[in-house]
Amino acid sequence: MALCLKQVFNKDKTFRPRKKFEPGTQRFELYKKAQASLKSGLDLKAVVQLPPGESINDWIAVHVVDFFNRINLIYGTMSEYCTEKSCPIMSGGLKYEYRWQDDSKYKKPTKLSAPQYMCMLMDWIEMLINNEDIFPTRIGVPFPRQFQQVCTKILTRLFRVFVHVYIHHFDSIINMGAEAHVNTCYKHFYYFIREFSLVDHRELEPLKEMTERICH
């Protein structure tokens, strides 16, 4: 029997502290609206659609931060099974290998273990979403022109977490009774990135068969 979300995902194991929205801000109100829709049992395809009159960049920002928190929590729970020994390469099966590159320490695509890759990824995303020049939180401050491009990169890399967890640690998900919760998070994420064409379809190939099965 599947356990409740609080039992399945121990918040002490969150990979990084949760990024929160400041109460009273428009972003916080949008976040509450999105969460209310999720809890209402509405079709996830409808939940991800931009509400009338809302800014698409604000809507994307809210979801990028929320997905970071959720996927961070999922991986944090899985991390004891994802070790240097069990996952010496960040991959999605034999066919897909993900190398790390950033603008500082790793200037060229570099082979890392899955735990190292995840650590670099979460640090990198946290740095971006806390950067006021990229994710402005003050009223009247516009988003940068490259905002959606940055979000595409963030979401593409977060998708790779799903790839690794589903392909290499699915038995652990099942043993924890977390399959339904992870599937729902994945479906929400998938419908969102497809709704706004935020991730290249080639990046989705590793989970194509599963996606066709659970995302109708």
Residue range 94-98: average pLDDT? 96
Q: Kind of pairing, strands 91-92 and 96-97?
A: antiparallel
pLDDT at 39: 57
Q: What homologous superfamily does CATH list for 54-215?
A: MOB kinase activator (1.20.140.30)
197: left (phi over 0), alpha (psi -120 to 50) or beta: left
Nearest to 38 by CA among 209, 205, 141, 181: 181
User: What confidence tier does 138 reach under pLDDT thresholds 50, 70, 90?
Assistant: confident
What pLDDT is recorded for position 12?
A: 47
Mean pLDDT of 207-214: 95
Q: What is the pTM of this model?
A: 0.84
Average pLDDT over residues 140-167: 96
* Identity of the residue numbered 127: M
Using only C-alpha atoms, the chain has a radius of gyration, in whole angstroms, of 17
Q: Does residue 29 surpass a pLDDT of 60? A: no
CA angle, 155 then 150 then 95, to 5°:
45
Structure confidence at residue 106 as a pLDDT band (50, 70, 90):
very high
82 assigned binding-site residue: yes
Measured distance CA(21)–CA(122) in Å, rounded: 18
Q: Single out the residue of 25, 26, 63 nearest to residue 147, CA to CA.
A: 63
pLDDT band at 30 (very low <50, low <70, confident <90, very high): low
Q: What is the mean pLDDT of residues 84-96?
A: 96
Please answer whether residues 200 and 149 qualify as being in contact, where contact means their C-beta atoms are separated by less than 8 angstroms: no
Domain map (residue ranges) of the chain: 54-215
- As a whole number of angstroms, the distance between CA 173 and CA 4 comes to 13
| pLDDT over 60 at 31, yes or no | no
Q: What average pLDDT score do residues 112-140 get?
A: 94
The pair of three-digit structure tokens given for residue 105, joined into one six-digit string: 């320490």
CA separation, residue 194 to residues 14, 201, 203, 213 (Å):
27, 9, 12, 16
Structure confidence at residue 98 (pLDDT): 98
Percent of the chain with pLDDT over 90: 65
Q: Let me know: does 113 contact 90? Beta carbons within 8 Å.
A: yes
Rounded Cα distance between 58 and 132, Å, is: 13
164: annotated binding-site residue? yes
Question: How confident is the model at residue 213, as a pLDDT?
Answer: 93
End-to-end CA distance of the chain: 24
Residues 149 and 198 sit within 8 Å (Cβ to Cβ): no
What is the structure's pLDDT at 188? 94
Mean pLDDT of the chain: 85
